[in-house]
Amino acid sequence: MPGGIKIYHLKEIYKNMLNVKNQFPFFTNNPGITYMDSAATTQKPRIVLDKLVDFYTTHNANAGRSSYPIANQLTNEVEEVREKVGKFINASKKEEIIFTSGATDGFNKIAYTLGIHYLKDGDEVLYCPQDHKSFVLPWFKVQRLVENMGVAIRLVPFRVNKMGSIDRDDLFSKVTDKTKIINATHIHNIYGADSDINKIRDWLGDKDVIINVDAAQSVGHRLVDVQQLGADILSFSGHKMFAIQGVGATFITKKLHQFMEPIFVGGSNGVKLHDSEVEVTNFSQAYESGTQNYAGILTLGKAIEFIEQLGIENIYIHLSELTQYLLQKLRQLPKIEFVYGPNFWSCADGAGILSFKVGGLSASEAGFMLAENGILVRTGDHCISSRDEFTNTIRISMHVYNTTDDIDFLIKILKTICK
């Protein structure tokens, strides 16, 4: 595990987490707010905000383009963050990490690159309609694009089970000799379920299938090890793990680099033009054409430092405890209707995410009532494209700054709403 993590006794973990909230200026400036929408975006600790201000007030430059000391220092710092990200998710080489503007940017770049440079006529791509739209929709755009180029890609859907994780039996039944890519969400953004992606890789064995992972809700919540998962590609957003908005990273295993010529190119040291041929000279830099969000990249490094100081295993235990405590309290209320997720699990686990409905009220009505009492949650379809009885829900999503006191207050207000 990264950062020499210590695993504390549960009570000590909880005591430590009680003090964490003081490191987030948002809560000092908004004392009446109970924030329970971290799956949408996390609040930012002081260490991240200080780095943002420091960059723009004392070290603002453009990396890799100038020879003066400040620019050179920034170039080195960016590469240090790249290495830090790689170690954080256990990539083999830092060159396997590309910086993006977020998970959505990574998903699109991967879909277009593979669709144009890797997939062939008749190939199949597996996806789940209940995954986040940013993970699903790019493939439909790519399918239409390459169809105009005379290449037919088949998109094959698979289901989630009652627990909210991938229905592996259904997934495995869809794999054929034509299957080239499986798109798999690690932690579901509505159901909070871990899909045990490593078991997909184990089942595939030596089949030549790319596993493309959405890790937006898992990185920063629990240990993410791309090698243990068996992920070939993995993307996440910085703003869901305490960095600022507008930055993220995508891991692409070295063995795929020969098939992954970037679609978007421009000013960078990673590509050169020889006569009429574009040559990729540095894989990660080739994917980062143009001026990057350097401030965001630096805050991503600080966010990882913050997580490592707390200990990723301690965060995981804390979130599991909160998830189970919330579930226990919600089960005592009338009119609560659970969707897929922790209510159907046989284990005491959790990523701080739990979704439900309040009978007799729309999710937006219940969410408005909660907001009137300073409780901020997400309501609606949560960016999935499928439409069924599990859409239009209330989603509670917590992180290190949440406590059982937050849950008790939420339950107090829900009791009033349920009446």
Looking at the annotation, which residues are catalytic?
383
Residues contacting residue 232 through CB under 8 Å, at least 6 positions apart: 210, 211, 212, 252, 253, 255, 256
| Euclidean distance between CA atoms 319 and 325, whole angstroms | 10
What is the DSSP annotation of 27-54? HHH-TT-EE-BTTT-----HHHHHHHHH
- Chain centroid, CA 274 distance in Å: 38
- Chain centroid, CA 66 distance in Å: 33
- Residue 278: phi and psi, rounded to 5, are -95, 120
Residues contacting residue 169 through CB under 8 Å, at least 6 positions apart: none
| Euclidean distance between CA atoms 72 and 112, whole angstroms | 32
| Euclidean distance between CA atoms 283 and 417, whole angstroms | 54
Strands 97-100 and 248-252: antiparallel
Tokens 């599990």 identify what position? 390
Residues contacting residue 346 through CB under 8 Å, at least 6 positions apart: none
